[in-house]
Amino acid sequence: MRAAFVSTFGGPERVELAEVAVPEPGAGQVRIRVRAAGVNPVDGAVRAGVFGGAGQRLGLGWDVAGEIDAVGAGVDGWTEGRRVVGLHYGTVKPLGTHAEYAVLDASAVAAAPESVDDAAAAALPLSGLTAARAVDLLGLAPGDSVLITGAAGLVGGLAVQLAARAGLVVTALAGAGDEAFVRSLGAAEFVARDGAPAGPVDGVLDAAVLGAPALAFVRDGGAYVGLIPGAAPAAERGIRVAEQEVAPDGELLARLSGLVDAGALTLRVADTFPLADAAKAHEALATPGTRGRVVLTF
């Protein structure tokens, strides 16, 4: 099968394709015939060498949408031909989901939303799980106020929808031209980039990774949740600072998939590329202002 790798760190031109053996599922695993796979910022970071792994050929890809092709020993509830989505966790790994077949733990897989195509479904796993965990980590109650930075991005936009659904009063911080869009997702208030909310908020979900400037908007004793481990500002004024770290979670992913089918969660695809153009997909990933997930299709 064909798969995308990086063996020398650098820009999008470092993404290469290679023929490799089709992986076999072990106990507790399933093999997926990949139909679409999201290209995430973490893939760009792996390509650039942020996580190390020099001297190895590193596989790319975390998101996957496709059909189960084979089932390993001890797996119950999944059968060949079932359409699924899943999260393939790992920054330094020999093979990811940017390949014609991918092997995942069965516990990392959920039924794909039936109401969207494979490209849109592939935008759900990493971004959806990240947003859902971050909203949960805020620990806020219905009626509390939350500022979501980067609200027009894929993760931020999903967080706006999930926070509003949880009964939080959402202020969205995004580009000036994004006000109508983020309000359509459920934001009650809007702040243009470089602006400030009208008053302190109970919590901040910092999808734009603003750090200390975003923390300044939180009331004393409030909550701040960052999305990148190690990038959160130091706690102050009794503010609880937490960092979400995404992990495979088939049960949570199944709930998110159900929300998509219920029309309560909107997924966005910025552009699609065939696997042969994986390097071009990485170029698109780095384009400022990209709205939605860049997706490889098979």
Within 8 A by CB and 6+ apart from 259, the residues are: 165, 265
Nearest to 257 by CA among 127, 134, 69: 127
Instruction: For residues 150-171, give the mean pLDDT.
Output: 97
Within 8 A by CB and 6+ apart from 50, the residues are: none
pLDDT at position 288, please? 79
Domain boundaries, the chain: 2-124+267-297, 127-243
pLDDT at residue 172 greater than cutoff 80: yes
pLDDT at position 286, please? 86
| CATH superfamily, domain at 127-243 | NAD(P)-binding Rossmann-like Domain (3.40.50.720)
pLDDT digits (tens, 9 = 90+) for 197-228: 999 999 999 999 999 999 999 999 999 999 98
Q: Are 297 and 273 in contact (CB under 8 A)?
A: yes
pLDDT digits (tens, 9 = 90+) for 8-24: 999 999 999 999 999 99
Confidence grade of residue 194 (pLDDT, cut at 50, 70, 90) = confident
CA distance 169 to 15: 42
pLDDT at position 180, please? 97
pLDDT digits (tens, 9 = 90+) for 25-47: 999 999 999 999 999 999 999 99
pLDDT digits (tens, 9 = 90+) for 127-147: 999 999 999 999 999 999 999
272 or 287, which is more confident: 272
The fold for domain 2-124+267-297 equals Quinone Oxidoreductase; Chain A, domain 1 (3.90.180)
Q: Are 9 and 62 in contact (CB under 8 A)?
A: no
pLDDT digits (tens, 9 = 90+) for 50-109: 999 999 999 999 999 999 999 999 999 999 999 999 999 999 999 999 999 999 999 999
Phi/psi at 94 (nearest 5 deg)? -75, -20
pLDDT at position 291, please? 81
Please, what is the average pLDDT of the chain? 96
pLDDT digits (tens, 9 = 90+) for 47-66: 999 999 999 999 999 999 99
